[in-house]
Chain A
């Protein structure tokens, strides 16, 4: 089975000319299906830039990145992302005026599904994540851990083959962060799905199938 994500000699510069800053220096990485890959390292080492390249938000300066055998920043990248990629953000980024179920349903709504159908499906997913009784709650009525579980539901609801998580436990205390990762590992990891987690929280390393340690835009080593 081909890797979910392949990065080859990946270079990313920000700015041009004398002011250009190289953030990634010819990085090679393969992310397999069926587990969680963590990108670890200090702030500024290029983890988030690498995640943005995988999401197709940024275009490589040199080298190549392929996601699910597709160039993620190519034509139709928005639709590709909508169908195949789920996101979990550090600050959850839930819409404060929507209920938990409506928030979780956003990817389906973005893909054109009817509201009632999408919300029903979101309720099912939230129930699997232990939030069956909070589907109508607003984000402000939920704890940090509950909000992140809603974000996980939103990332999973459209059954994407790649889930990109940016510091999913950074805003949570240790115990809640651990619980969230347990849940993510339980519901997100599947044989035909890859999960990428950017983190510098070593307490959650146990959940990783492989950990790519980064420094100054390079992969120092990969722990499997």
Chain B
């Protein structure tokens, strides 16, 4: 009977393709929009993720997320270092100077000033150059996307110069940094150098990066630092979650993406449901004949679910394929790089598609189950 069910569906080309299209459309829209949303949220934590050397971030108690910083006095660094269990603690600067190339093109850049002595916080995924070269005067490392913005033509080349707030900055390295939320170029310099690029203020230290000693985990150290200094101390993961939480709670981004995903679910369900219902109605006399011949209601239900599952799986696969293809095709586009289909999103989309095909087949199943076999005698 499965063969009959599949032939009934597949041979009705128009509805078969219509069903697949509606499911594929829903799967594409859901997975694409959810992936963009997740990618954007992930981007908000790019500077946190790129600091691979330290596991604890210490900041002013009023800081809510990584992009809005209230600088700390340098005395706080000594207080953190004095907390029992801290192996080391170093300052980190984060600022937004204006970067300008020789040809006049300019952008606001994210400048990370890392500890002069240890270079903790410097990028580790180098495309060209060595982080140690940051020790040279006016040295900066720039991310690849930023380099390509300022120097779109020609090969990657060290030694080229930019101006950061009208001060000379010499590129000594090119790195792969995570794409930031604002798509700004990301640069790294020594802490002391970074302070020269931005105007002097009373407090300049954006964060303190710390690492626990042996036998102490990062979360425990963060709690200890917070308790003893009154500062806010979070693990990198916690700080990332807090940053994402801020963007979710204080911007319209999740609402907009949520609406798109909801529209995809509703449109997918309605179009697939309607098409599937019409398919069932048009085949009602055949279902009636099968019922008269002795096919049970449960078997007919199984046939409908098989038909729905087939279009569901094909539509889902096509939808995920198109989403993946989109991200592969745009992986080198500056503002679209780094977006991927997360496994969780693929799984979530699958669950939603299951819901859509279940909802779509429900009406048809009900119609067929309540169909009187005697109806086949009515011509």
Asked whether A and B interact, the reply is yes
Closest-by-CB residue of A relative to B7 is A97
Closest-by-CB residue of A relative to B286 is A95
4 tightest A-B contacts by CB?
Answer: A82-B294, A97-B11, A93-B289, A57-B374
Closest-by-CB residue of A relative to B372 is A57
Contact A110 B293 (CB under 8 A): yes
- Flag whether A192 is at the interface (Cβ < 8 A): no
With A48-B377, A52-B374 given, is the CB distance from A109 to B289 under 8 Å? no
Contact A79 B373 (CB under 8 A): no
> Smallest CB–CB gap between A118 and chain B, Å?
10
Contact A90 B379 (CB under 8 A): yes
B-side residues, CB < 8 A to A, are: 1, 3-4, 7-8, 10-12, 285-286, 288-290, 292-296, 299, 372-374, 376-379
The total of chain A residues at the interface (CB under 8 A) is 32
Contact A87 B374 (CB under 8 A): no
Contact B373 A57 (CB under 8 A): yes
Contact B292 A102 (CB under 8 A): no
Contact B294 A89 (CB under 8 A): no
- Flag whether A66 is at the interface (Cβ < 8 A): no
Contact B377 A89 (CB under 8 A): yes
Chain B residues whose CB sits within 8 angstroms of the CB of A106 once the complex forms: 4, 290, 293
> Smallest CB–CB gap between B25 and chain A, Å?
25
Main secondary structure of the interface of B (DSSP, over half): helix
With A48-B377, A98-B4 given, is the CB distance from A110 to B290 under 8 Å? yes
Contact A109 B4 (CB under 8 A): yes
For the complex, give the distance between the alpha carbons of A109 and B293 in Å. 11
A sample of 30 cross-chain residue pairs with beta-carbon separation below 8 angstroms, ordered by A number, consists of: A57-B292, A57-B377, A78-B294, A78-B296, A81-B294, A82-B293, A82-B294, A82-B295, A83-B294, A87-B293, A93-B285, A93-B288, A93-B289, A95-B4, A96-B11, A97-B12, A98-B4, A98-B7, A102-B4, A106-B4, A107-B293, A107-B294, A109-B1, A109-B3, A110-B1, A110-B293, A110-B295, A115-B3, A154-B293, A167-B379
Q: A5-38 vs B: 1/0 string, CB under 8 Å?
A: 0000000000000000000000000000000000
